[in-house]
């Protein structure tokens, strides 16, 4: 990668994500207090030098909980979108390459899933499962792959008629080798861009579920459940809503900038 050609979106997005990763990785050292420690004598204290982001309704330090929640949100976003990316990429490759009844079957399944709003589908599944961080990651991953499958399929349909693919078939290469050695590398760039954009969406979904009480469960800190507590004290403890909301906004913007930056960087037209 030529550093001179890096665009502003990519640089800014990477910088913001490095900042978040430092907080998530070094949470044990950055957080000044135990995020689970309660002190009712200091409940709903406003931001100060002692408590940078104030305290919540149980007297817990909000800054410490925010730092640990960074780890939770990034973990949910990356793993859930990772699951969706693996499923979507494999099904897209198979659907586009083989065609016929295989393509028809996969695309009809995709159409059925896309008939339902993703968030509604996740709520429906979560309603039958015990809310936990692991269930959230799996459910978001298993309901977010259809769009990527369509995208990968469209790319494969264009690539599989190329001369080097036809030459590989004539040379007797197996379908698996053609798919994963010759076709997959040519669709990795759009997959990576889609992955980056999808992480931001997954973090928003997790925050929304936690806000509704169906996501990460207290006392485990999450930006969504900190917001949930904040809505009950919005008039007297504004910091409980402002800081987690700002963290969600910052993280989603960071991943969107990264995705857009990668798209621009690897686009031949943009680099001319």
Do residues 261 and 5 lie in contact, with contact meaning Cβ atoms separated by under 8 Å? no
Residue 1 covered by a domain: no
Give the residue-averaged pLDDT of 149-174: 84
Do residues 104 and 96 lie in contact, with contact meaning Cβ atoms separated by under 8 Å? no
Q: What band does 79 get if pLDDT is binned at 50, 70 and 90?
A: very high
Decide if pLDDT at 271 tops 60.
no
Give the residue-averaged pLDDT of 72-86: 91
Do residues 263 and 9 lie in contact, with contact meaning Cβ atoms separated by under 8 Å? no
Alpha helices in the chain (DSSP H): 8-25, 27-30, 62-98, 100-114, 118-126, 133-143, 146-159, 163-170, 175-177, 184-211, 223-231, 239-266
Lowest mean per-residue pLDDT among 37-51, 106-120, 143-157: 106-120
> For the chain, how big is the Rg over CA atoms in Å?
22
Decide if pLDDT at 129 tops 80.
no
Q: What pLDDT is attached to residue 2?
A: 45
Query: What is the rounded CA–CA span in Å between residue 18 and residue 172?
Result: 45
Decide if pLDDT at 272 tops 70.
no
Q: What band does 87 get if pLDDT is binned at 50, 70 and 90?
A: very high
Q: What pLDDT is attached to residue 269?
A: 58
Q: What band does 265 get if pLDDT is binned at 50, 70 and 90?
A: confident
Q: What band does 66 get if pLDDT is binned at 50, 70 and 90?
A: very high
Decide if pLDDT at 119 tops 80.
no
Q: What pLDDT is attached to residue 264?
A: 82
pLDDT digits (tens, 9 = 90+) for 230-247: 888 888 889 988 999 999
**Domains in the chain, number:** 1
What is the span of the domain harbouring residue 114? 8-23+52-266
Q: What pLDDT is attached to residue 53?
A: 92
Residue 201 covered by a domain: yes
Lowest mean per-residue pLDDT among 99-103, 127-131, 135-139, 190-194: 127-131
Query: pTM here?
Result: 0.85
Give the residue-averaged pLDDT of 216-227: 84
Lowest mean per-residue pLDDT among 60-64, 113-117, 198-202, 220-224: 113-117
pLDDT digits (tens, 9 = 90+) for 165-216: 888 777 778 878 888 888 888 888 888 888 988 888 888 888 888 887 777 7
Q: What pLDDT is attached to residue 5?
A: 67
Euclidean distance between the first and the last CA atom of the chain, given in angstroms as a whole number = 15
Q: What pLDDT is attached to residue 181?
A: 82
Q: What pLDDT is attached to residue 3?
A: 46
Residue 92 covered by a domain: yes
Q: What band does 106 get if pLDDT is binned at 50, 70 and 90?
A: very high
**Tokens of residue 30, six digits:** 């950055």
**CATH (domain of 17):** 1.10.3720.10
Residue 47 covered by a domain: no
Angle of helix 146-159 relative to helix 62-98, nearest 10 degrees, comes to 40
């Amino acid at each position: 990668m030529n550093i001179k050609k890096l665009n502003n979106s990519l640089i800014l997005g990477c910088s913001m994500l490095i900042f978040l990763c430092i907080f998530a990785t070094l949470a044990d050292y950055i957080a000044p207090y135990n995020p689970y420690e309660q002190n009712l004598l200091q409940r709903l204290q406003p931001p100060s030098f002692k408590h940078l982001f104030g305290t919540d309704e149980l007297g817990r330090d909000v800054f410490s909980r925010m730092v640990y929640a960074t780890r939770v949100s990034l973990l949910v976003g990356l793993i859930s979108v990772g699951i969706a990316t693996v499923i979507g990429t494999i099904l897209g490759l198979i659907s586009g390459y083989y065609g016929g009844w295989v393509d028809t079957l996969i695309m009809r399944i995709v159409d059925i899933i896309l008939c339902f709003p993703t968030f509604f589908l996740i709520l429906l599944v979560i309603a039958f499962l015990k809310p936990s961080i692991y269930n959230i990651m799996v459910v978001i991953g298993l309901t977010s792959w259809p769009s990527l499958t369509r995208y990968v399929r469209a790319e494969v349909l264009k690539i599989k008629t190329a001369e080097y693919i036809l030459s590989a078939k004539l040379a007797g290469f197996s379908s698996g080798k053609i798919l994963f050695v010759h076709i997959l590398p040519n669709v990795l760039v759009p997959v990576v861009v889609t992955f980056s954009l999808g992480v931001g969406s997954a973090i928003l979904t997790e925050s929304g579920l936690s806000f509704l009480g169906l996501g990460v469960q207290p006392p485990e800190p999450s930006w969504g459940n900190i917001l949930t507590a904040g809505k009950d004290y919005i008039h007297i403890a504004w910091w409980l809503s402002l800081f987690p909301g700002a963290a969600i906004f910052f993280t989603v913007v960071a991943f969107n900038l990264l995705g857009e930056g990668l798209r621009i960087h690897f686009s031949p037209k943009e680099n001319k």
